[in-house]
Amino acid sequence: MKLTLMLLPATFVLAWVAIGLGFALRNAPIFTLASLAGVAVWAAGWLRRWRAVTTTLADASFVAVTALAGVGILINAPAILMLVAVVAALIAWDLTHLDQRLRGDKAAAMRVERADEIERQHVRWLLLAAGCGFGVAGLALTVRASLSFGWMFALGVLAALALSLTLRYVRQGQQQK
């Protein structure tokens, strides 16, 4: 659990600091204050061990950071800071859920075995996903390419296809329930 305990607060604070800094650079103090409030709420929950609401707080925080990052891009805040915020929020959100799972549930008489191995593997895959995502998104933010209508159409069809496949998978999963 050492890795989680180390990475989780760091990534969380990084996410909100990046958002706050981005908005501060764009002279939008209201959003900076909002991000400070976000950090304060999460820190209170974390330090006081509000286990029942920790994942809820993490969910809310992740959604808030992503939404604020979208707004930040729109108002021309530094895009790289917004991307850092989203990736850090994603890691923090994931680690909060992992932490909850690895703590077990005494009420349900559940124990956790080989927690270190689970954590190590999880963090490795998480950092891989975050690194790839950050790299590709960073590339997308910096590289500008003009596409013809044909390419645009093909990419649109591909996106629609991927979306429909995903939706079908989700529906299948719900039917299996």
Partner 1 sequence: MMTGKGILLFALALALFLFGLASLNGGVIALTIPLLVYLGLGYLQRPDALQLRAVRRVSVGRTSVEEPVAVTLTVTNNGQPLREVLVQDILAAKLELIEGATGVFTPLGSGDAAELSYVVRGGRGAYQFQHVQVTVYDGFDLFRRQILLPAPALLVVQPTVQRMRAIPIRPPRTRGFAGPIPARQGGSGVDFFAVRDYQLGDRLRWVNWRVTARNDRRVYSNVFEQERIADVGLILDAREGSDVRIGPATGAGDSLFEHSVRAAASLAEAFLNDGNRVGLLIYGSGIESVFPGYGRVQRERILRALGRAATGHHFVFEKLDSLPTRFFPAQSQIVFVGPVTADDPAMLIHLRALGYALMVVSPNPVAFEAGAPSLRLSSSHAVQYAHRIATAERTFNLQRLRRVGVQVVDWDVSLPLGNVIHEALARQPAARATLARLP
In the complex, the residues that contact partner 1 under the rule CB under 8 A are 59, 62-63, 66, 69-70, 73-74, 79, 82-83, 86-87, 90, 94, 97-98, 101-102, 104-105, 108-114, 117-118, 121-122, 125-126, 128-130, 132-134, 136-137, 140-141, 163, 166, 169-170, 172-174, 176-177
**DSSP string covering 36-74:** HHHHHHHHHHHHTT-HHHHHHHHHHHHHHHHHHHHHHHH
At 79 the three-state DSSP class reads helix
Work out the angle at residue 30's Cα, subtended by the Cα atoms of residues 25 and 31, and round it to the nearest 5 degrees.
65
CB of 64 to partner 1, least distance (A): 11
Distance separating alpha carbons of residues 58 and 108, to the nearest angstrom: 23
Closer Cβ to partner 1, 37 or 128, answer by number: 128
Of 51, 121, 127, 118, the C-alpha closest to 88 is 127
CB of 24 to partner 1, least distance (A): 19
Closer Cβ to partner 1, 57 or 126, answer by number: 126
- DSSP state, 113? S
Closer Cβ to partner 1, 33 or 152, answer by number: 152
Closer Cβ to partner 1, 47 or 52, answer by number: 52
Burial 63-94 (b: 16+ CB within 10 A, else e): ebbbebbebbbeeebbbebbbbbbbbbbbbbb
Q: Tokens 């979208």 sit at which residue?
A: 70
CB of 50 to partner 1, least distance (A): 19
CB of 4 to partner 1, least distance (A): 14
Closer Cβ to partner 1, 47 or 143, answer by number: 143
CB of 33 to partner 1, least distance (A): 22
